[in-house]
Amino acid sequence: MSHHNGLNGASCEWLTRDTWNIGHALTLLLAGCGNTSIVGRWEKVPSPQPTSESTIGALAEVFADAMYPQKIEFFRDGTYAASPSGMLSGGEYQIREGKRLRLKTYIGLSVYEFSISGDVLTLRDENGREILYRRAQ
């Protein structure tokens, strides 16, 4: 079934299809522009010394920090790779609501609040722990 605009019987199907394609292209273009894009290579910023005064708390902080990869790369096609793998080995990612990063991992789905300021990517987990990465050159 063809949609007509009433002017000489011209079809308007192209408008819907082309408008969607233009919008999709602009989204991809903007996602890759400037330093605000997550696309690219990132290297983990060393964490400060554990802040917990208890031995068990300090060990838990060190263990949690070790779960995150030293290097992570986000690709334009919605995939990512990490090394050494740890908890985030690679897979697919999605950006939701402009500030939530969903990562598919080998153990399931992880969601982080994220922000990019200059060349620093901050991931904040559900416990409020922040992991920092610096854009690799």
Q: Which pair of structure tokens corresponds to residue 97?
A: 């609501």
Q: For the chain, how many structural domains are there in total?
A: 2
Judge whether 131 and 125 are in contact, CB under 8 Å.
yes
pTM comes to: 0.64
Q: Do residues 20 and 53 share a domain?
A: no
Q: Do residues 52 and 106 share a domain?
A: yes
Q: Do residues 26 and 46 share a domain?
A: no
Q: Do residues 50 and 27 share a domain?
A: no
Q: Do residues 19 and 81 share a domain?
A: no
User: From first to last of its 137 residues, what are the pLDDT tens digits of the chain?
Assistant: 444 444 344 443 433 444 333 333 333 333 444 456 999 999 999 876 656 566 766 666 666 667 788 899 999 999 999 987 666 678 999 999 989 999 988 788 989 999 999 999 999 988 888 999 999 98
Q: Do residues 19 and 62 share a domain?
A: no
Would you state the pLDDT for residue 57?
A: 60
The whole domain housing 10 covers: 1-31
- For residue 70, the SS3 value is coil
Q: Do residues 49 and 10 share a domain?
A: no
Q: Do residues 20 and 51 share a domain?
A: no
Q: Which helix (H) or strand (E) segment is 17 a member of?
A: helix 13-31
Q: Do residues 3 and 47 share a domain?
A: no
Residue 55 CA to residue 22 CA, distance in Å, equals 56
Tally Cβ neighbours within 10 Å of residue 15: 12
Amino acid (1-letter code) at residue 20: W
Judge whether 102 and 109 are in contact, CB under 8 Å.
yes
Residue 50 CA to residue 43 CA, distance in Å, equals 20
DSSP string, 21-60: HHHHHHHHHHHTSSTT---EEEEEPPPPSP--SSHHHHHH
Residues for the chain: how many in total?
137
DSSP 8-state code for residue 14: H
CATH number at residue 56: 2.40.128.270
Q: Do residues 124 and 71 share a domain?
A: yes
